[in-house]
Amino acid sequence: MATEDDDATPPSLCDFCHHDTVVWQTEQLRFSQRTNRGTVRCEVSLPIGRCDTCGSVHLVHEAETLIEAAVLQAYIKLPLG
């Protein structure tokens, strides 16, 4: 049975090379997104894992939700029309 602490800690096993060598750190992701009211520029902090063995990049399951929230926050600030 998983505990809250287990859920908060991202896995260190690489999905690609299957070695236990993924190191996690929080990084700032900056990106632009086109919307129906113009382009928004967004910045979001995400936990990003990098495998020391094969170099692959891993995101937590909540990454998409965090990115969508950043776009929505920037979208709301755009002027109407």
Phi, psi of 51 (to 5 degrees): -80, 125
Domain-embedded: residue 43: yes
pTM: 0.72
User: Do 14 and 22 touch, CB atoms closer than 8 A?
Assistant: yes
Number of domains in the chain: 1
- Apex CA 80: angle with CA 79 and CA 81, to 5°? 120
Question: Does an H or E element contain 63, and which?
Answer: helix 63-76
Q: Flag whether pLDDT at 56 surpasses 70.
A: yes
pLDDT tens-digit profile of 8-21? 567 789 999 999 99
Structural domain span for residue 40: 12-56+63-76
Domain-embedded: residue 26: yes
Question: Does an H or E element contain 29, and which?
Answer: strand 22-35
The stretch 47-66 carries a mean pLDDT of: 94
